[in-house]
Copies of this chain bind each other. A is one copy, B any other.
Amino acid sequence: MSQATIEHSFQAINPATGEILPGEFIETSLEQITDYGHRSAAAFAEYRNVSGLKKAEFLEQIALEIEALGDALLERAQAETALPLPRLTGERGRTTGQLRLFASYVREGSWVDARIDPALPERQPLPRPDLRQMLRPLGPVGIFGASNFPLAFSVAGGDTASALAAGCTVVVKAHPAHPGTSELVAEAIRTAVQKCNLPEDTFLCIQGRTNETGQALVNHPAIKAIGFTGSFRGGKAIFDAAARRPEPIPVYAEMGSTNPVFFLPQILKEQGAALALAYVASTTLGTGQFCTNPGLSIVTASEATEQFKAQAQQAITQVKPTSMLTKAIREAFHQGISHLTSHGDVQVLGESDATEGYALARPVLLTSTAKALLANPAVAEEVFGPSSIIVQADNPEEMLALAQSLEGHLTATVYGTEEELLQYGDLLAILEQKAGRVIINAFPTGVEVSHAMHHGGPFPATTDARSTSVGTNAIRRFARPVCYQGFPQALLPEELKDTNPLSIWRLWDGVTQK
Interface residues of A (CB under 8 A from B): 45, 48-49, 90, 104, 110, 115-117, 125-126, 128-129, 131-133, 136, 138-139, 239-240, 243, 247-248, 250, 407-408, 418, 421-422, 425, 428-429, 432-433, 435-442, 446, 448, 450-454, 456, 458-460, 463-466, 468, 473, 476, 479-488, 490-491, 505, 507, 509-510, 512
Contacts and interface: CB of A to CB of B under 8 A. Distances in A.
Contact of A468 (B250, B481, B485): B481
A488 B424 CA distance: 13
Contacts of A454: 133, 481-483
Contacts of A428: 491
B466 A479 contact: yes
B484 A438 contact: yes
A116 B491 contact: no
Nearest to A441: B486
Given A136-B432, A250-B464, A432-B482, A117 B488 contact: no
Contacts of A446: 126, 129
Contact of A486 (B439, B486, B488): B439
A448 B130 CA distance: 10
The CB with the most chain B CB atoms within 10 A, among A428, A505, A507, is that of: A507
A239 B250 contact: no
Nearest to A451: B115
Contact of A488 (B125, B440, B450): B440
A129 B248 contact: no
B483 A438 contact: yes
A491 B484 CA distance: 42
Nearest to A465: B480
B490 A452 contact: no
Given A243-B243, A446-B126, A132 B452 contact: yes
A428 B45 CA distance: 12
Contacts of A117: 448, 450-453
A460 to B, nearest CB: 7
B437 A456 contact: no
Contacts of A243: 239-240, 243, 248
Contact of A448 (B128, B458, B484): B128
Contacts of A486: 439-442
Contacts of A439: 485-486
11 contacts: A115-B473, A418-B488, A421-B491, A436-B481, A437-B484, A440-B491, A442-B485, A465-B480, A466-B476, A466-B481, A512-B512
B433 A491 contact: no
Contacts of A418: 488
Contacts of A138: 465-466
A453 B131 contact: yes
Contacts of A480: 436, 456, 458, 465-466
B132 A483 contact: no
A364 B450 CA distance: 56
Contacts of A450: 117, 128, 131
The 7 A-B residue pairs whose C-beta atoms are closest, nearest first, are A454-B483, A243-B243, A131-B452, A115-B452, A437-B483, A117-B452, A133-B452
B115 A448 contact: no
Given A138-B465, A418-B488, A459-B247, A442 B483 contact: no
